[in-house]
A and B are shown apart, each in its own frame.
Chain A
Amino acid sequence: MNLTRESGAAVVIIGAGVTGLSAAWWLARDGVDVLVLDKGVIGYEASSRNGGGATHYQSPLFHEEQRLWPLMDELLGYPTEHRPERIVIAMNEAQMARYKRMQGILAGLGYRADLLDPQQVRDAVPLAGDRHIGGVHIRTGGQANPQRTVQAYAWAAQDHGARIMQHTPALGIEMAHGRAVGVRTRNGVIGCDQLIVAAGPQSGTLLRGIGIDLPVAPARAEMIVTEALPLMPCGGVDGNGLYGRQTLRGNLAYGGGWHEWMDELPLHGALPRPSTPVLQHIALRIAQMLPKAAHARMIRSWAGIVENTPDGRPVLDRPANPGNVTIATMSSVGFGLSPATGHALRDLVVDGRCSFADIDKLSLRRFDGLDPDWRRIQGWVTPATHQASVPA
């Protein structure tokens, strides 16, 4: 099949978050005709609402994540505000034990991370006080500005000829002769030879329409931001049960804590994602970890919605049936890995397999035979569902 540009594209991607946009960029720079659809503005969901952390030792894409980030501004041609390294501060023994194990894992993977004593933490982190008991300085990893990164992917992909259609929700996937042939929208069907479904929480709904069962549960998580403070030498400071960073502008941006499981989301329209009084607990933890920032004013907060698979691991897979649909969910940890994810997706679409890492254990097959009631069994249900289940 050879589609004209009017009726579709060789590769259509549903979802202009970091996953879909990075894939579009990787494909477009290879000369592939690619079109990305989003129900709203690019990156408006989780991809612009996250902590910006990029240190994911657990992932098969970790090495590629670490290799690519320092190159991204140059490769994309637009700023991502990437800054290297991360310092994790422990306020108690339990936290320290956890961070030490992370150091061990990183060492095993060939990356340097140094233990810091309390004084070394103070030297490295001007906003720290004297209640912490130590920390770990990770000499790799880092963080970037999600909002700028999302736009950078989109523009870079466009510069290579990719097309992006905002405010165009995918309402369903059209099948013919056992293959996906297009995406149904309000303005008709957009044809495709290959399809990538990277619609975050809504990927499950879209794929169910063509008989693929991608088990994902959406949940809401929140973050806060303070006014700008003088820049610390390393922006990637977190710990004390928080993730986050000091932005290059100087604001502190942190999240952590309790999430709320949600019901399946609509394919289009505004999503309910309030930020809540949980922000008081995030404020407390920042003030404990960085007491010299306690006077800083909190000026914003927000919530984002992410999806999780039953084991919390991504699904990056192009199942044999229908054969031209590639599934991409990062299971709530997908910003930092996105440069590498796009590469892997490009490989899956063009070559049928990932060229730089074994990602076999991220295939959808692992959920064959999953109990359909898995969300209840894992306790991943909405508060209302939970309440209704407690006998009066």
Chain B
Amino acid sequence: MDGVTRQAYPVDPKSAVGKLPRPAQFVDVLVVGAGPAGIAAALAAAGEGRSVMLVDEHPVSAAMAGLDVPYLFGGRATPALGNQARMIEQIAGAMPGLDDAFEAGIEVALNTSIWGMWVAGPGLQVLPCAVAGLATEDRSWLCGFGRAVIATGARDLVLSFAGSDQPGVLGAQALHALLTRYDAFAGRVVSILGSGRLALETALRALDKGLTVAALIEVCDAPQGPAELVAEVAARGVAIRCGAVPLMAETNVDGVVALRIIPVAGGTVERIACDTVCLALGLVPQIELLDTLGAPITLDRDRGGYVPVCDATGQTPIDAIRVAGDCAGVAEPGGLDYRMTWMRALLDTGGNDALACTCEEVTRGDVFALHQPRYLGPESEAMAARDLAGLLADGPPDHDQMKRLTRVSMGPCQGRRCREQVAMLLAIGARDDIGIVNRAGFRAPVRPLSLAALAAPDDEAGRDGWDVWFGIVAQWVPYDEIGTPREADYIAGDMHL
């Protein structure tokens, strides 16, 4: 068919065509994350004469930190976090290399999160250019970009035990950020879970900052990290308790007051006084934006789990998108097996009652038994007879399906506190490898922002061609009127829902 004939046909006025105009703001290169990798990428792009915007969500608001987004802050930030202006200054001063970025004329947006990114592609042809959604705590806007470097780093791996949902249990990334960038850590005495490089470095940093490290707790029989770090930690008087896992965190109104640990092989419970328990068992690449972009993701057992598919330069199969730094993978040989060893030991010692999902209060046992959420009340007989094993007889474990049935991973933290653990529980339930579990994806907004903040400007453009559904008038003509003279009235009256 030739172009002229085609033009005679209309565009569906209720469709998305023409509704998402090019954003007013546009940059050649958008860099997400102002860690070392992001800053290097931004400087390189600026050096090529491109317009560059470098965005970082830190300092996050106290509310966001309260939801453990993006790290497991565990309620151990000082009230200083509430003073946003002060925090922005603090962070800007504490991020190495940020000065260079300012000097290179790079537009730097701190305290700004990116909640979605899109490029035109299958199912989304309507975009006029690649687009990112940006937001502060009370406002959002869109920015077009030519290409982007995603350098969002890694977040905390969270495994649970009794009391781990209480204030004082945080992650290594959160502790690092609060100690070095925010200068706003409220604890004094820390017990650290793990003895790999991450745990050992966390211990040394904590000591350097004047904290007391009560102990490192390691599930395996021997410390896992490099010998020189193990020696350094020992030289500074910190014991590594091997062959043990936390049984429970003892808490009062302020949160953790002690950690009780139990030997994996059985034996007596030991009480370690501390106000903070730091999970340092591994890091998880932050791939949320790659998911909203539809970029392919793959499981890499030695690099922290799910990572974007990319080449040695970080180029993804999407032309406009490159990844850099820890979000592309965090080297951790044998990491997934190590995590699984922890998971099994926590399950063996702590049982099914610990929460798998803090937001929705779903226990590990609820996952295995496929319990319906408590708001539905007592289960019917048929429902009570269903369990995870039965579901798995019909197909491989699927995290999305579990979300739907048990509401696990469905809360405001957007599953950050439970994803990895739930996937491990599903693998355990299936008596199979973690690789067979169908991963739950991330969708926009990848930060839990308020409706008020996310709302588009209230203008005429948003009303243009808006309809509840497709706006097909014939669809809503009452059945009995179809084929009668009155049908035309319905159509002419545009009567539809």
Q: Which A positions have Cβ atoms within 8 angstroms of B? A: 41, 44, 48, 57-60, 62, 73, 77-79, 81, 98, 101-102, 105, 108-109, 147-148, 151, 155-156, 159, 164, 166-167, 219-221, 226-227, 241-243, 248-249, 256-262, 271-281, 283-284, 286-288, 293-303, 305, 308, 311-313, 331-333, 361, 376-384, 386-391
A275–B443 CB distance below 8 A: yes
A260–B123 CB distance below 8 A: yes
B6–A260 CB distance below 8 A: no
Contact with A along B108-152 (1 / 0, CB 8 A): 000000001010011111110001010000001010000000000
A391–B414 CB distance below 8 A: no
Contact of B470 among A248, A288, A308 (CB under 8 A): A308
Contact of A281 among B9, B398, B466, B477 (CB under 8 A): B466
Contact with A along B400-415 (1 / 0, CB 8 A): 1100110100111010
Contact of A298 among B10, B451, B495 (CB under 8 A): B451
Q: Which one of B10, B382, B462, B472 has the highest number of Cβ atoms from chain A below 10 Å of its Cβ?
A: B472
B470–A219 CB distance below 8 A: yes
Interface residue tally on B, bucketed by range: 35 or more
B450–A298 CB distance below 8 A: yes
Decide yes or no: A276 and B394 within 8 Å by CB, A296-B451, A382-B125 being known contacts. no
Complex: A33 Cα to B78 Cα, angstroms: 64
Q: Which residues of B lie under 8 Å from residue A257 when comparing CB positions? A: 466-467
Decide yes or no: A277 and B133 within 8 Å by CB, A260-B123, A389-B3 being known contacts. yes
Q: Which residues of A lie under 8 Å from residue B411 when comparing CB positions? A: 227, 299
A296–B443 CB distance below 8 A: no
Q: Can you sample 15 A-B contacts with CB below 8 Å? A: A102-B497, A159-B382, A241-B466, A242-B468, A260-B15, A260-B123, A272-B124, A278-B19, A280-B454, A280-B455, A298-B448, A305-B123, A313-B482, A331-B475, A389-B7
A256–B450 CB distance below 8 A: no
Decide yes or no: A301 and B126 within 8 Å by CB, A77-B382, A284-B455, A332-B470 being known contacts. no
Contact of B451 among A105, A226, A274, A303 (CB under 8 A): A226
Decide yes or no: A261 and B386 within 8 Å by CB, A280-B140, A294-B450 being known contacts. no
Q: Which residues of B lie under 8 Å from residue A274 when comparing CB positions? A: 118, 121, 123-124, 292, 294, 443
- Interface segment among B303-311, B373-381, B422-430: the answer is B373-381
A243–B469 CB distance below 8 A: yes
B448–A249 CB distance below 8 A: no
Q: Which one of A41, A156, A274 has the highest number of Cβ atoms from chain B below 10 Å of its Cβ?
A: A274
B118–A278 CB distance below 8 A: no
Q: Which one of B126, B375, B477 has the highest number of Cβ atoms from chain A below 10 Å of its Cβ?
A: B126
Decide yes or no: A227 and B412 within 8 Å by CB, A257-B467, A258-B466 being known contacts. yes
Complex: A386 Cα to B483 Cα, angstroms: 32
Residue of B nearest to A303 (CB): B123
A333–B395 CB distance below 8 A: no
A284–B462 CB distance below 8 A: yes
A256–B467 CB distance below 8 A: yes
A294–B452 CB distance below 8 A: yes
Please tell me if B210 contacts chain A, counting CB pairs below 8 Å.
no
Contact with A along B470-497 (1 / 0, CB 8 A): 1010111111001100000000010111
A79–B12 CB distance below 8 A: no
Q: Which 7 A-B pairs have the closest CB atoms?
A: A312-B475, A272-B123, A389-B6, A312-B472, A77-B382, A147-B404, A272-B122
